[in-house]
């Protein structure tokens, strides 16, 4: 992504002047504000506004638990306790608003997270820019042969080239035709709300996306996961870095309990206990299906 | 839309056998169950399941108001009272699940209604069908010259033909290329989650969409409105007919208070009162902006 | 409500020091931050944090409408347009967090607004304070004889005194017994999560309540309305004043279109049009029920 | 709880007559419909309506995954896969509506689950019944000495008796005074919306509560857990039995992955792997805090 000089100037201007506030601030987040973090070939993530910090989480927890938490002197310990026991409401006290530029097919996955506020650029009102996502060669992968929703080996040589040519040519042609249909030069010009239907799913759109920290963690757990499609994961990973700067204690707990954690079924607990007792557990005597066992072995060997 | 013989047989089979239930049933809805209502050129709306009827609404209201509502002997009156006074929770006691087949650009508007449950056909896992929305000539309109998000006159003659040709050709080519990229004939075949990005926004997708009656009314108020884009309105209008059969009293109240109703601002109330008192009210002396006044005159002359 | 000297000192301390921020600030809201606004006899509302201002609303709208809104040069006009046409998402870009101290029976009404984040003081963990809501004489009203959910005339003389005595004595006794049961002096002491069940619904609780501006407006429309119970209205009215300072343009539009506005049914529109045409409309020839007509006359005479 | 003869007759009548429907039915749930399941001393849970069954879950999953799931021939395996991988939307396709009678302090915990629809008996409109929760002796426990929010040993002898006397006497007196204040015999009678504030938190209320299966599982995971307060757990356990009858495959997966499952943090995974490798892991060398280690040892010894 290359920002236009106008956009760079706008960001610099927004970052040039601080205002005094009585609100809590997060130093890590102030450094991120407005800055465009590049994602994919033309995408970006920017923080436009935020509310709260690690302290807002413990403050809310302490209102809930009142004098009962007086003995927990340690903010990190309290935040880890909350995360471990799925206490979600204190994390909801923090809020963040992102500006995101992303391909439409990524936007369609993203929007499935319903507990958030969204204002998207409307192609009913306005004309979309001529920008399309074309995967870099290292992301141009074949269909996985073992996973219906995954990628396998990279495409090579001629096949890779053919795919890139198709994606580029079709996008270019679709956009040319989009402009042709909209044009009011010597013709009426098709309504924008109709013309947009000719554009492919790799065209870029943009939106403001506002969410509380609890729901953001839920989004990141699913979308920064290795099972997520690479293109949305690229956004989630940038956002993980931002959140780490914003609320380092909460992010640390999230990383340990959610991203780095493992959910064991009752059968999985049983199998591990038997192993710890020296028993040899196999798929057959574990009670697990083949699929479960494969995933279990993936973690525990 | 032409259903395949398999699909028709499936619907007939689903409708062939009734089961006994102790639940409330809605006769009007039983007639609708599973039946495919055609929308646009390849789309459809079907009711797959429902819960509750008009009586479930008044029953919930009577739990809330207890003995206090004993004197309201009339179900219609009670439902109209609830609608008039924005009591939303009794309407939430009814639920409906639709199967919808719709173009992606319509799906993108639709999904903005967040308080609903959705399972969409996933183009990560599966291959989309070769079906695209091509507007009928009577819906092929130019950009409105007065409304940024609306349609104006119909396109005519050569321009109309050119647009239809573009939409058809580009969709066909995009789909051909989609298949070419996916093909594992003599090549690895691109991952489905990537290949889909070549498809335009008029390709059809499908989903199950489940929603409570209160939120469905909210959807219908916005999407069956004349300001909604024609293509989503076509779905909303079919759904209005279905809801009328399902909960006739609630739908009647909705039609009178929401669809046929008018919201007046404080300034609008003032202007009408002055008119009723015989005064001549103009934009200038109404305190309204030009836009507000234009809308006010649109209703009141 | 009398704040303790400790609490007053805490507020003064919180207001003593500003920090620099790159975020947008609202001057009106900075003046409100942390300040305790008294409500009822022991209640309070305080703003603890906020995000966004009027400008955040128009900025979001302009992202949605892109170049299409360039011609709307006027922020107030744009905000009024959004409010008039029920465009809710731009208002969701603003967020506010309140600290509220309120009687339990008010909290029970309040919590029905689900789209908000809450952390309430937990009487499972901690011991509630000895504070109860006792209505002022000017709010001690009889059951309405015309409205099942409303108040009628004020209670007078002996009856008023008897009610106040009962409320005070029962609350005092309940709290004494609460303490007796909890006491670990010469006995085990009942679990807090059980002992609390002896406390009446006028005991005060407190919480953090965080909400976006769109949902806050919805809350205020219902709870600052004359049909709302006085005790929750007292909170809503204080919050209206705060919101006016925070986002004056949005609040102005809300006041005109929601608080001061009127919803007319299709039948109501018809009746008014006939009146404007000089016809005499009566309940009988209006198609409205008696209840609807009474409300219609209440506005239009 | 003793149902009145009228209530028993009403339930029998509701269960006497079946209607034909084309919808899917759940045999296990049909047996539950309307039947009052007793909870605590005066509470109850009843199923009033439901929508969907195990099959509705796999059907939704198959729409999402299309032809990609054709090879999963096994419904149980598919449902377990969905549960294991946190695919929540297929479970949202099932909906259930309960009638619940419960003490107010339980209702206050319950209502914190926001993604549900509620119609509660309103004490603004109507007069509450003279029914209060008084714990059975085997639930009358002292405050835990190790857990701020838990119960410890049972109260015994005189202390237990004193507590029961207080709870009964205060509830009785509060209700007598409630009636005295409401009475219009020789006085105006206090407004119901005010009089209710004299009632303690163990008074019974009732509501309709409607929720989808995914959110119901979330509720049950937290509220049927041993850490939940006994009084709400009593409701959750009855509801678990009902859900098992309704959707046996989904409930089985829920039981294995959620109720019987364990969440390990990254540190926990590390500690277990070291143990499996024969190492002795202690709190000190595990990187866990004392609290985390205590919980870890609680599961793994």
Number of residues in chain A: 301
Measured between alpha carbons, how far is B166 from A153 in angstroms, rounded to an integer?
Answer: 35
Helix (H), strand (E) at residue B228: none
Can you spell out the DSSP letters for A132-194?
A: B----GGG-EEEPSS-TTSEEEEP-HHHHHHHHHHHHHHHHHHHHHHHHHH--SSS--B-HHH
Residues of chain C with pLDDT under 50: 68-69
The pLDDT value given to residue C68: 47
Chain C residues whose CB is inside 8 A of the A210 CB are: 92-93, 95, 212
Helix (H/G/I), strand (E/B), else coil: D26: coil
Q: Residues B223, B259: contact at Cβ < 8 Å?
A: no
Which of B182, B200, B218 is at the close of a domain? B200
Q: Residues D269, A262: contact at Cβ < 8 Å?
A: yes
Are B3 and B124 found together in one domain? yes
Residue B227 tokens, joined: 């300001």
Angle at C126 between CA C171 and CA C239, to 5 degrees: 70
Average pLDDT over residues D39-66: 92
Burial class (CB in 10 A: 0-12, 13-18, 19+), D292: buried
Residue D21 tokens, joined: 């429907």
The pLDDT value given to residue A150: 85
Measured between alpha carbons, how far is B263 from C272 in angstroms, rounded to an integer?
Answer: 13
Residue A82 tokens, joined: 């909350």
B165/A contact by beta carbon, under 8 A = no
Are C144 and C80 found together in one domain? no
Measured between alpha carbons, how far is A182 from A174 in angstroms, rounded to an integer?
Answer: 12
Q: What pTM was computed for the model?
A: 0.96
Q: Give the count of beta carbons closer than 10 Å to the beta carbon of residue B86.
A: 12
> Does B300 sit within 8 Å of C273, measured CB to CB?
yes
Residues contacting residue D121 through CB under 8 Å, at least 6 positions apart: B63, B64, B66, D128, D205, D206, D207
C70/A contact by beta carbon, under 8 A = no
D190/A contact by beta carbon, under 8 A = no
Residues C43-90 have pLDDT tens digits of: 999 999 999 999 999 999 988 765 544 555 689 999 999 999 999 999
Its domain, for residue D156, covers: 138-200
Measured between alpha carbons, how far is C234 from C224 in angstroms, rounded to an integer?
Answer: 8
Measured between alpha carbons, how far is D136 from D44 in angstroms, rounded to an integer?
Answer: 16
Paired residues of C118 in beta bridges:
C209
Helix (H/G/I), strand (E/B), else coil: C95: strand
- Check B46, B80, B223, B233 and give the catalytic one: B223
Q: HEC profile for B116-137?
A: CEEEECCCCCCCCCCCECCCCH
Residue B28 tokens, joined: 């009007």
Are D211 and D102 found together in one domain? yes
Paired residues of C101 in beta bridges:
C44, C206
Query: What ipTM score was computed for the predicted complex, to two decimals?
Result: 0.94
Paired residues of C47 in beta bridges:
C33, C98
A25/B contact by beta carbon, under 8 A = no
Helix (H/G/I), strand (E/B), else coil: B152: strand
Chain B: nearest CA to D214, how far in angstroms? 10
Domain harbouring D33, CATH code: 3.30.1360.170
Q: Residues C190, D155: contact at Cβ < 8 Å?
A: yes
Per-residue confidence band for D68, with pLDDT thresholds at 50, 70 and 90 = very low
Strand ranges in D93-216 using DSSP code E only, listed in sequence order:
95-103, 117-120, 141-143, 151-154, 204-212
In chain D the first and final C-alpha atoms are separated, in Å, by: 42
C223 is catalytic: yes
Helix (H), strand (E) at residue A33: none
Are B90 and B152 found together in one domain? no
- Check A15, A223, A258, A274 and give the catalytic one: A223
Nearest-by-CA chain C residue for B256: C266
> Does B21 sit within 8 Å of D21, measured CB to CB?
yes
* D291 Rama sector, left if φ>0, alpha if ψ -120 to 50, beta otherwise: alpha
> What does the DSSP 8-state code read for residue A225?
S
**pLDDT (tens digit, 0 to 9) for every residue of chain B, 301 residues total?**
568 888 889 899 999 999 999 999 999 999 999 999 999 999 999 999 999 999 999 999 988 765 544 555 689 999 999 999 999 999 999 999 999 999 999 999 999 999 999 999 989 888 999 999 999 999 999 998 877 778 999 999 999 999 999 999 999 999 999 999 999 999 999 999 999 999 999 999 999 999 999 999 999 999 999 989 999 999 999 999 999 999 999 999 999 999 999 999 999 999 999 999 999 999 999 999 998 999 999 999 8
Are D120 and D218 found together in one domain? yes
Residue A155 tokens, joined: 């495409």
Residues C87-108 have pLDDT tens digits of: 999 999 999 999 999 999 999 9
**pLDDT (tens digit, 0 to 9) for every residue of chain A, 301 residues total?**
568 888 889 899 999 999 999 999 999 999 999 999 999 999 999 999 999 999 999 999 988 665 544 555 689 999 999 999 999 999 999 999 999 999 999 999 999 999 999 999 989 888 999 999 999 999 999 998 877 778 999 999 999 999 999 999 999 999 999 999 999 999 999 999 999 999 999 999 999 999 999 999 999 999 999 989 999 999 999 999 999 999 999 999 999 999 999 999 999 999 999 999 999 999 999 999 998 999 999 999 8
Residue A231 tokens, joined: 């293109």
Place of tokens 């990187």: D287
Residues contacting residue C86 through CB under 8 Å, at least 6 positions apart: B222
Are B38 and B186 found together in one domain? no
Helix (H/G/I), strand (E/B), else coil: B22: coil
Measured between alpha carbons, how far is A239 from A253 in angstroms, rounded to an integer?
Answer: 16
Measured between alpha carbons, how far is A53 from A250 in angstroms, rounded to an integer?
Answer: 9
C117/A contact by beta carbon, under 8 A = yes
From C227, C261, C276, residue closest to B263, measured CB to CB: C261
Q: Residues B270, B297: contact at Cβ < 8 Å?
A: no
Nearest-by-CA chain A residue for B115: A114
Chain B: nearest CA to D209, how far in angstroms? 9
Cα–Cα distance list, B17 to B34, B51, D51 (Å): 12, 19, 18
> What does the DSSP 8-state code read for residue A278?
T
Residues D240-267 have pLDDT tens digits of: 999 999 999 999 999 999 999 999 999 9
Residues C228-249 have pLDDT tens digits of: 999 999 999 999 999 999 999 9
Are A72 and A153 found together in one domain? no
From B257, B266, B300, residue closest to C261, measured CB to CB: B266
Measured between alpha carbons, how far is B124 from B246 in angstroms, rounded to an integer?
Answer: 36
The pLDDT value given to residue C72: 56
Are C107 and C58 found together in one domain? yes
Q: Buried (b) or exposed (e) across D17-40, using 16+ Cβ within 10 A? A: eeeebbbbbbebbbebbbebbebb
Strands in C43-51's sheet, in edge-to-edge order, are C37-39, C43-51, C95-103, C204-212, C117-120
Residues D132-189 have pLDDT tens digits of: 999 999 999 999 887 777 899 999 999 999 999 999 999 999 999 999 999 999 999 9
D276/A contact by beta carbon, under 8 A = yes
Q: Residues B154, B142: contact at Cβ < 8 Å?
A: yes
C121 assigned binding-site residue = yes
Q: Residues D125, B64: contact at Cβ < 8 Å?
A: yes
Angle at B196 between CA B190 and CA B201, to 5 degrees: 160
B260/C contact by beta carbon, under 8 A = yes
From A21, A68, A93, residue closest to C119, measured CB to CB: A93
Helix (H), strand (E) at residue D192: helix D192-195
The pLDDT value given to residue A68: 47
Helix (H/G/I), strand (E/B), else coil: D102: strand
Which of C200, C223, C246 is at the close of a domain? C200
> What does the DSSP 8-state code read for residue C67?
G
Measured between alpha carbons, how far is A221 from A262 in angstroms, rounded to an integer?
Answer: 12
Measured between alpha carbons, how far is A52 from C96 in angstroms, rounded to an integer?
Answer: 11
Residue D218 tokens, joined: 């979330």
Write out the binding residues of D for FAD: 89, 112-114, 120, 212-214, 218
Are C212 and C189 found together in one domain? no
Q: Residues D89, C83: contact at Cβ < 8 Å?
A: no
Measured between alpha carbons, how far is D113 from D120 in angstroms, rounded to an integer?
Answer: 15
Cα–Cα distance list, D74 to A267, C151, D77, D82 (Å): 19, 61, 5, 13
**Quick check: D69 pLDDT over 80?**
no
> Does A272 sit within 8 Å of D77, measured CB to CB?
no
Residue D146: closest CA among D290, D299, D301:
D290
Phi, psi angles (nearest 5°) of residue C134: -120, 120
Helix (H), strand (E) at residue B178: helix B157-182
Are C72 and C188 found together in one domain? no
Total number of domains in chain D: 3
Are A159 and A222 found together in one domain? no
A133/C contact by beta carbon, under 8 A = no
> Does C188 sit within 8 Å of D166, measured CB to CB?
no
Which of C174, C200, C226 is at the close of a domain? C200
Are D128 and D155 found together in one domain? no
Best D188, D199, D202 member to test C by mutation, with max C CBs in 10 Å, is D188
């Amino acid at each position: 992504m290359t920002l236009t000089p106008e956009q760079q100037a706008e960001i610099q201007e927004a970052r040039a002047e601080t205002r005094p506030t009585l609100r809590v601030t997060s130093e890590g987040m102030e450094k991120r504000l407005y800055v465009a973090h590049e994602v994919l070939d033309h995408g970006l993530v920017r923080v436009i506004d935020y509310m709260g910090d690690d302290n807002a989480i413990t403050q809310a927890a302490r209102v809930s638990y009142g004098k009962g938490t007086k003995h927990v002197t340690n903010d990190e310990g309290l935040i880890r306790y909350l995360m471990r026991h799925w206490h979600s409401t204190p994390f909801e006290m923090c809020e963040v608003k992102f500006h995101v530029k992303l391909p439409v097919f990524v936007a369609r996955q993203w929007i499935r997270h319903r507990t958030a506020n969204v204002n998207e650029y409307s192609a009913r009102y306005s004309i979309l820019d001529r920008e399309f996502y074309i995967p870099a060669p290292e992301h141009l992968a074949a269909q996985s042969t073992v996973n219906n929703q995954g990628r396998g080996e990279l495409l090579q040589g001629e096949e890779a080239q053919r795919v890139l040519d198709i994606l580029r040519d079709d996008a270019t042609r679709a956009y040319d035709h989009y402009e042709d249909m909209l044009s009011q030069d010597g013709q009426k010009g098709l309504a924008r709300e109709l013309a947009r239907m000719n554009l492919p799913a790799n065209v870029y759109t943009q939106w403001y996306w506002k969410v509380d920290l609890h729901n953001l963690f839920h989004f990141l757990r699913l979308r920064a996961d290795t099972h997520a499609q690479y293109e949305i994961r690229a956004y989630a990973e940038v956002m993980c870095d931002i959140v780490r700067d914003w609320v380092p204690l909460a992010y640390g707990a999230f990383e340990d309990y959610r991203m780095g954690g493992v959910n064991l079924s009752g059968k999985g607990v049983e199998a591990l206990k038997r192993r710890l007792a020296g028993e040899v557990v196999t798929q057959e005597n574990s009670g697990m299906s083949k699929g479960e066992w494969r995933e279990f072995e993936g973690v525990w060997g």
